[in-house]
Structure 1
Amino acid sequence: MVQSGYQLSTFLYGLGAGRRRLPTLPAPAPFPDDPNGWLLGVQPGEVSIPQGGDTSPHGRTSARQTDPTTCGSVSVLLSQACLDAVHPQDAPDSPATTPLNSGQPATSPSARQRIVTDYGAAQHETKKRTNSRAFAGIWTWPHRWGTPPWGAARELGTTGVRYRHQIVSPASLPHTRKVLTYAVDCAMRGYPVLLYTGSDTRVSVSAAVPRHVVVLHSPPVVADAAPTLFLFDPATGVNHAVNRDELTNRDTPPEFLGGWRHIVWAVFPNQPAQTTQQKVEP
């Protein structure tokens, strides 16, 4: 693929950002006690999630984002729920969501509880947390700009598995392959990975910054089945089956990336996870 145009990630990479050594791969995640806990979906096609206490097909809603700025919030929220499902013993409660002046005891519902109670409200609550103190640890990230990678990594860390963010420079194919190979390996071990996508200055200056977030994942729910790699797109609520070569060779179809051409940032695990029941390796 011929590189043309520039991205913010290319500029930052040229300044030396994003060149940290990749961490050790995490141990394979255990199989969840409840396969339905993998809310990112376990097969290609549209993903739906339960709402309220209704377990019938009519009690489900599409997993798509509720407004143009919550693709990152959906990605974080559903990834948190999946991580809670495979690491229930490690996952602390989420930060208290009851207002301090409400007169009620503070409560800490899990990601899944927040999702099934009110999916739309959960998305915006997640964005508040990822964007709070998201710039230099001090200033709030503007909500109209969506979810910053560093805020997403911090919020995913509340599950007990530390995450970090990493620039992906489309201008360097070796760098892209190295980072995305690591991302695929993490996903195949049962850890959702957030991928930020965008285009370049050929399209517009605004397209050269991260514009959308998708989730790379492989459900660790079927012990005797070959692992399957998916890209979940919050814009459509759909899982696309993808293979390693499509990602690491930068030939991923744009429709898998929310219509954008490049993967420009990644958020993945930053520590080996201690588990006892391992997922079958591909």
Structure 2
Amino acid sequence: MGWTATSVAASLAATVGLRGRWATPYSAAHAAGRAQRGGPDTDTVFARAYARRRASASAADAKALDTARVTLGDDSTIIERAVAAGAPITAVAGFAAAWDTFPRTAQEAIRRPQGAGLGHVRFGAVRATQVDETTCGAAVMAMMLMMGDPLVAAWLMTGRHFGDYLPREVLAVTLDGPGARTIDERWHALQRVLHHQTTRTGLWVAPWPRALGTPPWRLDDETRFAGVRFRGAVLDDSDAGAVTAAVAHASAALRDGIPVPLYTSGDSDAGLASVVPRHVVLLTGRTDHGFQVYEPGSGRIVPLAEARLFGPGPKEPAYGQWTRASWLVLPQVRRGH
């Protein structure tokens, strides 16, 4: 069996007693329990953030939040996402007031940027593919950002913002200069901004070579999603216990409404250039037998069998035609959650 850089690193760490806490039997069992907790619409990271924000709001702001939720009706969870993303209440209210003026294609993309099921993901007529071979990580971050922040998704689909508030990534695109007049231009500009954000200090104080894509230790630091902090989890996919723990943690995150970036690679059988993390995909949903995965190279949601995570296999469409799982970006669990 070939080896990967992450399998060797994880194995050496375990040998000297440095196994990541996420991979311990206790942590895996706790995550498996959280993955089974209630229905996915009853208690999510968005609902909890909204409840905290409303509880600390003034009477006038609480009323504004309630009005925004009522305005969106069956889509009221979008307001929870906007609040969890940190949008000011005035921007949330403006977004809610504008909701009925959005085209149907825009509303659908804001509801579910990743689409409603398997197949191509489109923003209107634009396919949700990475800009080039170096921006798979940036495309995954952009998709995750839109799933967490509906005001970013609304900007992408319509070019609009609300009040004087611009999400920081939208502001960065605006400051970068003109040239984001269409959905396609905005999608590409968002990826470029996120790619720059993760590579400018990829080597601590020095820039990471952009041609090498997105370093995983920067993706966990720079991902913005509902106020959640993230951690990298180096994966040895030949270790059944580690993979079982990874599945449990990914399932718990998805049940909470949090998608999970996954780095993939080849291994030493395909040459040394393949052993390091080479591609990034995004786990967007759980199924009875595995996961739904956004693969930015094809711009599609594709299935991934849970069993496929255990060790090497043939080229895998959900891995972007790579063969091994090598690194996950997981939410850090807060005490009491």
**TM-score w.r.t. length of structure 2:** 0.63
Match of 2:234 among 161, 164, 167: 167
Contact 1:184/1:216 (CA < 8 Å) preserved in 2? no
Q: CA deviation at 1:250?
A: 6.9
Q: 1:5 to 1:251 in 2, by over 3 A?
A: closer
CA distance, structure 2, for counterparts of residue 200 and residue 249 of structure 1: 11
Q: CA deviation at 1:162?
A: 1.2
Q: 1:63 to 1:165 in 2, by over 3 A?
A: same
Larger relative helix fraction: 2
Q: CA deviation at 1:43?
A: 0.6
The SS at the match of 1:218 is: strand
Deviation by residue 1:148-205 (Cα, 9 ceiling, x = unmatched): 1121112213652111111011232211221232112212332110000011010010
Contact 1:189/1:218 (CA < 8 Å) preserved in 2? no
Contact 1:246/1:252 (CA < 8 Å) preserved in 2? no
Q: CA deviation at 1:21?
A: 1.1
Q: 1:19 to 1:63 in 2, by over 3 A?
A: same
- What does residue 276 of structure 2 align with? 209
CA distance, structure 2, for counterparts of residue 124 and residue 170 of structure 1: 31
- What does residue 62 of structure 1 align with? 127
Q: CA deviation at 1:139?
A: 1.5
CA distance, structure 2, for counterparts of residue 200 and residue 228 of structure 1: 23
Deviation by residue 1:214-233 (Cα, 9 ceiling, x = unmatched): 100129xxxxx999941111
Contact 2:237/2:310 (CA < 8 Å) preserved in 1? no
Q: CA deviation at 1:247?
A: 3.7
AA at the equivalent of 2:7: T
AA at the equivalent of 1:132: R
Q: 1:151 to 1:79 in 2, by over 3 A?
A: same
Match of 1:46 among 106, 117, 120: 120
Q: 1:239 to 1:182 in 2, by over 3 A?
A: same
- The answer on 1:258 being equivalent to 2:320 is yes
Which aligned runs of 4 or more in structure 1 are off by greater than 4 angstroms? Answer: 23-27, 113-117, 225-228, 248-253, 272-275
- What does residue 163 of structure 2 align with? none
CA distance, structure 2, for counterparts of residue 202 and residue 236 of structure 1: 25
Count of residue correspondences: 246
CA distance, structure 2, for counterparts of residue 270 and residue 75 of structure 1: 19
Percent of pairs with identical residues: 23
AA at the equivalent of 1:32: I
CA distance, structure 2, for counterparts of residue 48 and residue 72 of structure 1: 18
The more displaced of 41-50 and 204-213 is: 41-50
Match of 1:232 among 266, 270, 294: 294
CA distance, structure 2, for counterparts of residue 114 and residue 192 of structure 1: 27
- The answer on 1:84 being equivalent to 2:143 is no
AA at the equivalent of 1:182: H
Q: CA deviation at 1:123?
A: 1.0
Greater RCO between the two (CA within 8 Å, min separation 6)? 1
Match of 1:125 among 193, 199, 207: 193
AA at the equivalent of 1:201: S
CA distance, structure 1, for counterparts of residue 148 and residue 127 of structure 2: 20
Match of 1:9 among 6, 10, 19: 6
- What does residue 21 of structure 1 align with? 21
Match of 2:168 among 94, 111, 123: 94
Q: CA deviation at 1:129?
A: 0.2
